[in-house]
Amino acid sequence: MKTITVQSINDKSKSYQFVDNGEPMRGGVKDVYFSPDKKYVVAIFRDKLDFNQKERLQKITNYYLPQIQSKEAGDYYLNEVYRWPTDIVEYNGLIGIIVPIYNSKFFFKKGYETSDLIQGKEKNGKWFAGAKFRNPKFPLKVAKSELGDWLSYFQVCVNLTRGVKKMHAMGLAHSDLSYNNVLIDPVEKSACMIDLDGLVVPGMFPAEVIGTAEFIAPEVLASKHLDKNDPNRKLPNRLTDLHALPILIYMFLLHRHPLKGGKVHDLDTEKDDLLSMGEKALFIEHPTNAMNRPKLDQVSKWDLPWADVNKLPYTLTGPYLKALFDKVFIDGLHNPMQRPTAEEWEIGLLKTTDLMQKCYNSSCEQKWYVFDNTNLPKCPFCGTPHKGTLPILDLYYQFKDAVWKPENHRLMVYDNQYLFQWHINRNTTRNEKLSTEQKVPVGYFTFHNNKWVLVNQKMTSLRDVTEDKEIPIGSMVELTDGKKLLLSKEEGGRVVVITMANK
């Protein structure tokens, strides 16, 4: 075992150390060594890099990294969403990159329910995307303590959408977004993108790989037989990221693949894969074309109940995500320009979390579900009906004097649900740039003396419009059917209209 010192290529005054015990961790193209203090790794490419590859790494570490550091929410991106390479080094004529170590939450504490085989291994997205690793009867089920609940995966997906949104805003594309290149921790509701040394800089550094099998966009697969310089050949870019991202979202929320269904195009498996993910790709839940529905007598028993699209259809993700899934897997599947942006996914995911209800069954695996807009809601996962009345708050904004328009945004109430600045005023956007102050709740809902009430914690101009009276800070207002509340008098302030469901 020896400690080796290497020098930075970007800044000759900097050096790094790594410990070589003769057995590095081997990635696809790199050997990975830990620094003595385990704060970073030195990942050395096994093959010599050409001028372009070296140039790309210099751009990523020297130009794009400072761009993230200097902008708003830089800490959030670099500590939470990315493991961004920070420097380039040379060792024995080979190029290496310095990457900060993964946060400890991204390593399994327990691993499998019944063995410690993957204990201490990284929490690659693959463990959480499929159905079998969460099937209680599967011999290698991931421990319950590692899986989180259904709501956790929404925040995981929000982190991923923000990561893609930021890259695209900087003019970059990921090119190989898949469950292998993200680490997730559902318990802490975290997700982090890794292996960021192959980013695509349009017009400068094209993609070096076409992607990972299940995540490659149909147009890339359908043209992969063409020469790289053929103008009809489609290579990974921003629009192919916008195909891979929703596949990840769909898999993390529904634990099945949106295009892998029952339709066989060719008896040769390789050709069949090429057609079913490429030229002939068809959404398994297409509302008017059922040709690719999964055939339950052909799916693995470990993939149930998630593989059953009749029992757990994609519509259970709520109206906002259903519309986005339709847009990407129906309209945009073979028409890349139609695909929703990463920001649209972020907004859809966050609005959906406002529709969440707690399941009343304490042994429900998922714990949460999206309100289905019926008068007698029940959990789609375990079938438990909602108990008691259910207040629904529809948000309205002032279009012009005395004209209020619906926002297409509603907030479902449950006991100890919070109200935030971004609910009461449309000029506050719920994104990564929120200040600490903006993240503090301004009120909360509770079931008190058999009544639903909103307790005002910080709203300076909360007003009961129906009864024409102010609700001062520290007091509460009862939620009743048809009641209107003005949440804020400031510009952008909203009114909510209350509907009581499940009466």
**pLDDT value for 153:** 98
Beta-carbon count within 10 A of 71 CB: 13
Last residue of a domain, one of 101, 121, 143: 101
Indicate whether 147 and 278 sit together in one domain. Answer: yes
* Residues 179-191 pLDDT 10s: 999 999 999 999 9
pLDDT for position 457: 98
Query: What total of structural domains would you count in the chain?
Result: 3
Structure tokens, 143:
């421990």
pLDDT score, position 399: 86
Last residue of a domain, one of 303, 333, 354: 354
Q: What is the pLDDT of residue 207?
A: 86
What pLDDT sits at residue 188? 96
Q: Of the candidates 101, 124, 152, which is a domain's last residue?
A: 101
Residues 277 and 425 in one domain: no
- Residue in 167, 149, 135, 161 with CA at minimum distance from that of residue 68: 167
Q: Quick check: is 379 in a domain?
A: no
Round to whole Å and give the CA distance between 496 and 80: 34
Residue of 224, 324, 308, 323 whose CA lies nearest to 261: 308
Crossing angle of the two packed helices 342-353 and 150-169, in degrees rounded to 10: 150
CB 182 within 8 A of CB 194: yes
Q: What is the CATH number of the domain that holds 48?
A: 3.30.200.20
Tell me which amino acid residue 195 is.
D
According to DSSP H, which parts of 255-380 are helical?
269-277, 319-326, 342-353
Q: Are residues 334 and 398 in the same domain?
A: no
d(CA 95, CA 54): 8
Judgement on whether residues 161 and 267 belong to the same structural domain of the protein: yes
What is the structure's pLDDT at 7? Answer: 94
pLDDT at 502: 82
Domain membership flag for residue 371: no
Domain residues for the domain of 19 are 2-101
Question: CA 20 to CA 297: how far, in whole Å?
Answer: 51
The answer to whether residues 245 and 302 belong to one domain is yes
Q: Listing from the earlier edge strand, what are the strands of the sheet with 484-486? A: 403-412, 390-400, 494-501, 484-486, 463-464, 469-470
Question: Are residue 232 and residue 309 in the same domain, yes or no?
Answer: yes
Instruction: Divide the 503 residues of the chain into consecutive groups of 10 and give the mean pLDDT of each group.
Output: 93 94 88 94 95 93 96 95 96 95 94 92 95 94 96 98 97 95 96 94 85 94 91 94 98 98 92 93 97 95 96 97 98 97 98 96 96 90 94 93 91 96 96 95 96 97 96 97 96 96 82
Burial class (CB in 10 A: 0-12, 13-18, 19+), 293: middle
Residue 201: predicted pLDDT: 86
As to burial, measured by CB atoms within 10 angstroms (0-12 exposed, 13-18 middle, 19+ buried), residue 456 is buried
What span, in angstroms and rounded, lies between the C-alpha atoms of 1 and 95? 21
403's tokens:
């004209």
